[in-house]
Amino acid sequence: MMTTGNGNFAPRHGLPPGLSGAARRALVNVTKNITAALLGVAFLAAFATTAFASSRIKDIVTIQGVRENMLVGYGLVVGLDGTGDTLKEGQFTQQSLQAMLNRMGIKPTASGITSKNVAAVMVTAVLPPFAGQGSRIDVTVSALGDSKSLLGGTLLVTPLLGADGEIYAVSQGQLAVGGFTASGSSTTVTKGVPTSARIANGAIIEREITFDMTKMTSFNLSLRNPDFTTARRISQAINAFLGSNSAKASNLTTVVLKVPADYKDNVVNLLTDIEQLRVEPDQLARVIIDEQSGVIVIGKDVRISTVAIAQGNLTIRVTETPQVSQPGPFSQTGTTTTVNRTTINVQEDSDKRLTVLNEGVSLQEMVDGLNALGIGPRDMITILQAIKAAGAMQSDLEVL
């Protein structure tokens, strides 16, 4: 920059000659605005990169007391097309059906109830926090007896109880079944699970669970993945936002938050503001193995000490070839017998070599080194367990 004769600043280059003082000032202002805009875009890009690498507090913690409650009930489904329970003497479906008819003034005998269109079911639902009376929730209906399908059925009025034995909702409605079954004389085709169904908005809440947040002076934030470092980062982020020491990590699972004086009248605003803060969660170095499916999940912080690995592939093939031995034509002494002939082939790969994994290798380097051996997931599971047993893996190894 340089100073012009009238005391104004102008760029050293880029201004065309012959401009008046007003034109030069206008052009300089435009240049400054463009430069400020570019700097702002660069700052936002850098901030976005950092923000997307972290998580919101609302995604990694739960507020103690703000929770769901499980509901369960026993009911009857009617209207099935011959796919209901088999009504036997003393069976619970028959007893339930007879008791329901008795309450309606109908008194059939046990031998007179032979319908195949009724099924006993268990009804489950989740009561959300702060759900008001008269609100509706979804329910899941599952067959309890030997019913083949709930397709086309209707759930009769079923009370849903909580863990305390009190009724919190009542359910009824037409079932929506995602699966079906079709059978013939020799073939049966089944898709999905026809003995399980859902009813959207199928239950009406009759009782509320009271929980007053307005009078609370502190909250406990519970981490979904307990970790000391993450708990400390959450408390530091909250304190930096509030400008006070209102949050404190009491252990690796809980962060205690005291309500500041500015939020005494509305704690919902406090929780809303805190939920949007971003924190980078920390995690333990861990390797998860599912031996049944062969799935391997390796965390990004897993490190391996210097170790040499060799994997041999031994294949043993046993072939049985029975042969028939019989006497010659017109022989009076020999008998026809079957003689077993067994062939055993042993094959061992000889081109497998030692692979060295250096100390402190990253996740990608470790995967590349194991893939260089040409092994599958099953053998890789055994190798990871052997590395852990040798003390060369600085992480937790969890087998599902």
DSSP 29-94: HHHHHHHHHHHHHHHHHHHHHHHHTSEEHHHHEEETT---EEEEEEEEEE--SS-S----TT-HHH
Q: Name the amino acid, one letter, at 215.
A: K
**pTM: predicted TM-score of the whole model, two decimal places:** 0.65
Tens-level pLDDT at each residue, the chain (400 residues): 444 444 444 444 455 555 555 655 655 565 555 555 454 544 444 444 444 458 899 999 999 888 899 999 999 999 998 888 888 766 888 888 888 888 888 887 767 778 889 999 999 999 998 888 999 999 999 999 888 899 999 999 999 999 999 999 999 999 999 877 777 766 777 778 899 999 999 999 999 888 888 888 889 999 999 999 999 999 999 999 998 899 999 999 999 999 998 888 888 889 999 999 999 998 888 888 887 777 888 887 787 777 777 766 655 566 667 777 777 776 667 677 777 776 766 565 555 555 666 666 666 677 776 677 667 777 778 888 888 888 878 788 888 8
Q: Give residue 11's pLDDT.
A: 44
Of 307, 287, 306, nearest to 298 by C-alpha is: 287
- Burial class (CB within 10 angstroms; exposed 0-12, middle 13-18, buried 19+) of 337: exposed
User: How long a stretch of residues is the chain?
Assistant: 400
- The Cα–Cα gap between 117 and 287 comes to 51
Rounded CA-CA distance 78/97 in Å is 10
Residue 89, pLDDT score: 66
List the structure tokens of 86: 């088999």
Cβ contact 242:57 at 8 Å: no
Tell me the C-alpha distance between 319 and 194, whole Å: 44
Contact in structure between 159 and 122 (CB atoms under 8 Å): no
- Report the interhelical angle of 228-242 vs 267-275 (nearest 10°): 120
Q: Which two tokens stand for residue 297?
A: 């999940």
C-beta atoms surrounding 312 within 10 Å: 9
How big is the chain by its Cα radius of gyration, in Å? 37
Whether the CB-CB separation of 346 and 314 falls below 8 Å is answered with yes
| CA separation for the pair 240, 223 (Å, rounded) | 19
